[in-house]
Amino acid sequence: MAMTMAEKILAKAAGKKESEAGEIVMANIDVAMTHDLTGPMSVESFEKIGVDDVWDPEKIVVVFDHQVPADSIEAAQNHIDMRKFVEEQGINNFYDVREGVCHQVLPEMGHIVPGEVVVGTDSHTCTHGALGAFSTGIGSTDMAMVFATGKLWFKVPETIKFNVTGNLAEKVYAKDVVLNIIGKIGADGATYKACEFGGETTQKMSVSDRMVLCNMAIEMGGKTGLVEPDQKTFDYLKGRTTKSYEVMKTDEDADSLEIMDIDVNDLEPQIACPHHVDNVKPVSEVEGTHIDQVFLGSCTNGRLSDLRTAAKILKGKRVSDSIRMLVIPASREVYTKAMDEGLLRTFVDAGALVCNPCCGPCLGGHVGLVGPGEVSLSTSNRNFKGRQGSSDAEVYLSSAAVAAASAITGKISDPRDL
C-alpha cells in the first residue's frame, strides 16, 4: 500500500504495517515536550489522574522559555511548581530559564530525529517536522494522558505537498515562501492536513530554513509540517543525538496525497498584514507603512542565519530614532555563536536592544509589548489582535531582512533597496 510520510510514521508508532488517512490510531509517543506556560496545567491534570509516576521520564522534555526570567509572581510560582515536578519525576531533560525557545532547543539538544512522533503543549511544535518527525501541538489534558500512558490517539491526516521550485531572488527567504503559500491557500486551507514541503527549492534550503516552513504549517491549519530527510538532515543530526532513527518518505502514488506547485522564481519579500496571517501582500504594496517597533527573534526567525542576515544589513548603520528594535536569539547556542561572530555587537552599535533567549513579545505577555495604536514589524509567526500586547496595536510579519531594513528607515522597507 502506497503511503505518505505521515501515514508511515503513525503506522509505525501504532505498531501497524499500514495506516490510511481518516483512520484512528493509538500511537506510542517518542518525545513529549511542555514549557513553563502550559506545563503547570498539564501537571495539574496529570495529578488528577491518580498515577504516581510518569510513563518514561527520559522521553519527557521540559523547557522554560515563555516567561523567562519570571516577569510576575504568578510566573515565578509556575517555575517553582515545574521545577518540583521535574525533580519528583526524575526528568533529566530539563532546560531552565537560560537555554532558549523550546522549538530551537529540542533539535539542538538531539531530542528530534526522523520517523518519530513528537507532541508538545505548544501549537508550533510542528516545527520539528523539518527533521522528518511527525510533530504536533496538543492540549494540556492530552499531555497529562501522555505523561501517564505514553500514548495518544490520532486521526491520520491527509497530506498536502507543496512542490516548491525555482530560484529565490536576493534577499528573499524561506519566510517569504511560507507567507506566500499561506496567502494563497488561506489560514484554513490545510486544516488537519500534514503540510509536506518538497521540490528543488526546499532541497536547497538549510535545516534552519526548513524549520521556518514547518513552523508555520499551523498557520494554514495544518496538523504538522514535514520535510523529507536528506543528507542535510543527517549532517545536522551528527554530534547532536545518539538516538537511532528510521527515515520515511512519501510514496508519490499515495491515495491521500495532494500536490500543489509553488513557483518562487519571481517571488518578492512578503508581508503578512494585520490582523490575519493569511492577509499577505508583497512588500512593494506596503512600503512606507509607519512602525514603532521591530522584533527580530522567535521560534520562526531567531536562528543564527536570521541574525547574520539582519546584521549584514545593519552593519555600520543606525536603527531609526523613531522606533525601537528588539533582537532576541532563539537559544543560548544561537546567542553564543552570534556573540562569537560579533553579530550582537553589530546590533548594539546600531542601537538595538539585545535580550536573553526567550519567546519575548511573541506571546503577548512578556518583554517588548506594544501599546495602543502602536505598530510592530515582527519576524514571528502570528499577528492576531493582541498577539504582542494591546488589542489596539497592529502587527506585521516579515523576514529578518525586511525587519532589519525597516529598522533603519523607521518604516516598512524593501531590503533590496538598501
Question: What's residue 267's pLDDT?
Answer: 97
The three cell numbers of residue 102 are 523550546
Looking at residue 384, its pLDDT comes to 83
pLDDT at 91: 97
Q: What is the pLDDT of residue 359?
A: 73
Taking the C-alpha atoms of residue 123 and residue 103, their distance in angstroms, rounded to an integer, is: 10
| Segments of the chain with pLDDT less than 70 | none
* Location of C-alpha cell 505518505: 4
- Does 214 count as an annotated binding residue? no
Q: Which residue, 74, 267, 90, is CA-closest to 165?
A: 267
Residue with cell 506547485: 261
Structure confidence at residue 369 (pLDDT):
86
The partner residues of 63 in beta bridges, in order of sequence, read 35, 95
**CATH code for the domain defined by 5-262:** 3.30.499.10
Distance of CA 130 to the CA centre of its chain: 10
Q: Would you tell me how many other CB atoms lie within 10 Å of the CB of residue 355?
A: 18
Supply the pLDDT for residue 363.
Answer: 78
Per the structure block, which three cell numbers stand in for 57? Answer: 521520564
Architecture label for domain 270-417: 2-Layer Sandwich (3.30)
Where along the chain do the CATH 3.30.499.10 domains lie? Answer: 5-262, 270-417
Contact 122, 137 (CB under 8 A): yes
Task: Tell me the HSE value of 322 on the side-chain side, using a 13 A CA sphere.
Answer: 13
HSE value, Cβ hemisphere, 13 Å, CA-based, for 175: 33
